[in-house]
Each structure stands twice: as structure tokens, then as C-alpha cells.
Amino acid sequence: METPKIISLEDISLKNSPEIDEPYIQEYIANDPSVLGLGDVIVKVKEKIQPKAGRIDFLLQDSEENRRYEVEVQLGKTDESHIIRTIEYWDNERKRYPQFDHCAVIVAEDLTGRFFNVIQLFNGHIPLIAIQMSAFKVGDKIGLKFTKILDELKTIIDDEDDDAPPSDRKYWETKGSKEIVDLSDEILKIINEIEPNFKIKYNKYYIGLVRNGIAFNFVVMRAKKKYLRIELKLDKNDEIDKIIDENELDVLEYNVKSNRYKIKLISDDLKEKKDVIKQLLQKSYNYFS
């Protein structure tokens, strides 16, 4: 077998290239957004106009999860305005579409030390991914490489975060309905059959649980207008899938990031399928413990 020939790659600056500009790079990413390493994503909108705030280069959406990425591409070095613009786009989108999980993404050739100093100021309160874009010349072609050098920081809306903003029952009755919030009380009764001393804690982003004053969110709940969504902490496996399928529970999706099954429940489910709901709650409690 012939030994492969090793060649040296000539790195180039895209910002200073007379042949490549930012729209060209954007088109390359749009044709195959998987090059960014964000998983199985699709381009929801390219150059989405923001009210009084310019345009997002890309709004990407995960094809399997309820997640969106606000992506900004910059040739050359990052600067303060670029960072602020990216975060502003992320903030606008999460406020307009709170039903999605949002993450800001910066793609740049040179992520400077000052960039990381600024990021530290956020102290994990903004989910942000930084991707370095490197370019190499090989013959008459240009090769691009995208390297994730800063993964997503922990965000304050994590459903296991004890510091999630507090709320109250009335807030959730307005967001959903009184009848749907009442279903969370029925879930709590089942949970206390498994293990006593649990109480509900109303947070802005979810209805959680506390036991003896300490957060214990093996299941979190979110009241909608027509149903209660429960999110059970469990590894996805054939046994759980079979229980769900055989009992015809209405599953929205499995969240790989948080390891949670999302199941829609209505009043009839708690009357007719209490035993299987209790079985799943027990498994989630055991998993979390």
C-alpha cells in the first residue's frame, strides 16, 4: 500500500481575500448548515430582519428538538459590536418565540482573548456557542474548517436550576387555564404516593417540585391551554417507548439535551391511565435519585 503524501496547508485570511466575501460564506453554510457542528439543523430563515436591530445571518432550527440557533458570521476578528449584536438577536427571538429553546452562535475567523473576557461577564446567563472558522488554500480551491471552541454555557432557564425566576399559580392559570393547572395537583398526589413530602414550586419557565425545601425536579410541568405537559427525566430506551406506545400516551418529543420525555396529558388520561403514569413517574424518580 502506497504511503499517502502529506502536504502543508496554506492558511489564508478570508477577510483579506479578494475572492471570498461574507455573502459567499453565508451561501456555503446555507447549502449545508451541518458544517457548523450544531447537529441536524435546517435553515429556518436566512438574513432575518429584526425590528430596529438589523438582520440575523441565520436562524437555524434543530430538526428533532424544539431548539433554535441565532447565528452571526463575521470575517476577521470579533469585536464588541458583533458580540452585542449577536446577543441582541438572540434576546429578540427568545422573547418573540418563547416556545423554543434558543441559543446564540458566533462564527468568526479570530475569536480574540478580549472576546472571552467579555463572555465571562455573562457568568453563564446567556447560552452562547463560539465557532472558529479557518480557511486553507489547496491548489486552486479553498477549504473551510469550523471548530467549536466555546460550547454552550449553562443558562438560567435550565429546568433544574434552583435559581429560576419565581412565579405563582395565578401566572400559570393565565398561561394555561385553571383546569389544566389543577392537573398538576393530581400529578403531585401521585408523586406523594411514591414518595411523600413533595410540594409544587411555581417558576416562570416551569412548574417544578421541592422536597423538604430543596428542588427535586425529576419531573417538571408546563400548563398549556388544552393540556398539561410533563417532562420526565429518563434515558430514552425501548422499555419506556414500549410502555408509552402500548398505553397510547401522547408524546411530543424526547429532549436529548435534558434527557426528558415530553408527554401531553388531559383530564381523561389521569382518570384512565393513572397506573401507567405512576409507573413512569416512579421510573423517573428512581433515575433522578
Domain containing residue 260: CATH number: 3.90.1150
Q: Is the pLDDT of residue 114 over 80?
A: no
If asked whether residues 191 and 272 sit together in one domain, one would say yes
For residue 189, give its domain range. Answer: 169-288
Provide the whole-model pTM.
0.53
If asked whether residues 197 and 122 sit together in one domain, one would say no
Q: By percentage, how much of the chain surpasses pLDDT 90?
A: 45
If asked whether residues 57 and 184 sit together in one domain, one would say no
HSE, CB side, 13 Å, CA atoms: give it for residue 154. 9
pLDDT the model gives residue 256: 74
pLDDT the model gives residue 154: 41
pLDDT in tens, 29-60: 999 999 999 988 999 988 887 766 678 889 99
pLDDT the model gives residue 155: 39
Domain containing residue 142: CATH number: 3.40.1350.10
pLDDT the model gives residue 252: 85
pLDDT in tens, 154-200: 433 344 445 556 789 999 999 999 999 999 999 999 999 999 999 99
Query: Of 121, 150, 179, which residue sits at a domain end?
Result: 150
**Number of domains present in the structure of the chain:** 2
If asked whether residues 124 and 213 sit together in one domain, one would say no
pLDDT in tens, 200-220: 999 988 999 998 888 899 999
Asked, for residue 103, whether it belongs to a domain, the answer is: yes
Spatial CA neighbour of 219 closest among 244, 198, 204: 198
Give the residue, 144 or 255, on which the prediction is more confident.
Answer: 144
Alpha carbons 73 and 274: distance in angstroms, whole number? 50
If asked whether residues 103 and 189 sit together in one domain, one would say no
Query: Of 93, 116, 150, which residue sits at a domain end?
Result: 150
Query: Residues 6 or more apart from 263 whose CB is under 8 A from it?
Result: 229, 230, 231, 232, 244, 249, 250, 251, 252, 280
